[in-house]
Amino acid sequence: MKTKHPKIPTLKQFLEQFPTNDSCLDHLMETRYGKRHVCAKCDKLANFHRVKSRRCFECDFCGYQVYPTAGTPFENTRTSLRDWFTVMFLFCTSRNGVSAKEVQRTIGVTYKTAWRMCNLIRQYMGYVDGDTPLGGPDGKIVEADKMFYGGKDKKGEDDKSVVLGMIERGGEVITRVLPSKGARQVLPAIFQRVKGGSRIATDEAGAFRELSENGYLHGTINHREGQYVNGQVHTNTIEAFWSHVKRSMRGTYVSVSKKWLQTYLWEFEYRQNFRKQPHVMLDVLLRSFPRPYADT
């Protein structure tokens, strides 16, 4: 399915694919259940037909009803499916993020509704992207680095958030907001998300010092182990990611609260991790909802 120059879908393509609310609901039904599937109630392979004016489909045999929006961010909202899909389109096609103000203007909802939609989409992007561990003995070099975000609290005291970022060169990025910047927080976060035996490059911060003792081939900017050749130990890739995130946050979001910082980072992770296949970014987002039958 690889095309030579994969591109982000255009607004025109998007509108052709999803011209109506019904087309969005059909899409959810097809990707989550299949219009023809084994009915959870009568156990027959059945066609499911649309129930008029409701967001549901009904088994041809027993009348069992399936709501394809169940368990998605669209469940229990009055916002139309097409508006939801449109905002997801914006999230996938923007480079620097989507503000609630922009959503408010684009689909004509209140600011509060727009903010809530953006928040749910960011959380969902984090779920879809997941955190598959990076590196490994045969993997590429992983760069790990801390980023400090924010400023002072109301009393004027330092109130920056600590974010750990790990990026496999040419591969994926994972970020994690940590309660503090010391080794007790940083090391376990790395153990969990970077495979043992990986080559890992960091700066000389104390929090990274014990990586060698824990089975990593650790190179710091001024000191590298034998496994590295000249010039391999740097953190340029993760630093470039941080500067993109910070610039975009400043430009699009102005300020992001501590409480929601991780969700904004998930959004940036999602786009970064799909950067080589932007043409499927939206498609993946619109078909990755958890399989609803699993928890019934």
* Among 260, 216, 253, 203, residue whose Cα is nearest residue 94: 253
> Of residues 110-149, which lie at the interface with Zn ion (CB under 5 A)?
none
- For the CB of residue 39, give the shortest distance to Zn ion in the complex, in Å: 3
d(C-alpha 144, C-alpha 167), whole Å? 7
Smallest distance, Å, CB 249 to Zn ion? 49
Q: How far is the CB of 58 from Zn ion (least distance, A)?
A: 9
Rounded Cα distance between 135 and 49, Å, is 47
Residue 59 makes contact with Zn ion by CB under 5 A: yes
Nearer to Zn ion, 36 or 54 (CB): 36
Of 64 and 260, the one with the shorter C-beta distance to Zn ion is 64
Q: What does the DSSP assignment read for 175-219?
A: EEEES-SSHHHHHHHHHHHEETT-EEEE-S-GGGGGGGGGT-EEE
Tokens of 19: 């011209």
Interaction between residue 190 and Zn ion (CB under 5 A): no
Show the binding pattern over residues 64-103: x = contacts Zn ion (CB under 5 A), - = does not: x---------------------------------------
Please name which of 112, 48, 120 lies closest in space to residue 84, comparing C-alpha atoms. 120
Considering the complex, state which of residue 37 and residue 160 has its C-beta at the smaller distance from Zn ion.
Answer: 37
Count of residues that bind Zn ion according to CB under 5 A: 7
189 binds Zn ion (CB under 5 A): no
Chosen residue from 56, 62, 128, 280 binding Zn ion by CB under 5 A? 62
Cα–Cα distance for residue pair 163/167, rounded to 1 Å: 13
Residue 284 touching Zn ion (CB under 5 A): no
Cβ-based nearer residue to Zn ion, 62 or 284:
62
Which span sits near Zn ion by CB under 5 A: 21-29, 53-61, 87-95, 278-286?
53-61
Residue 88 and residue 282 in contact, taking contact as beta carbons nearer than 8 Å: yes
Per CB under 5 A, the segment of 35-43, 82-90, 154-162, 172-180 that binds Zn ion is 35-43
Give the separation between CA 165 and CA 161, rounded to whole angstroms: 13
Q: Residue 39, interface with Zn ion (CB under 5 A)?
A: yes
Regarding 61 and contact with Zn ion (CB under 5 A), the answer is yes
Cα→Cα distances 264→120, 145, 259, Å: 11, 18, 10
Q: Are 125 and 281 in contact (CB under 8 A)?
A: no
For the bound state, the minimum distance from the C-beta of residue 134 to Zn ion, rounded and expressed in Å, comes to: 44
Which residues of this protein are in contact with Zn ion, per CB under 5 A?
A: 39, 41-42, 59, 61-62, 64
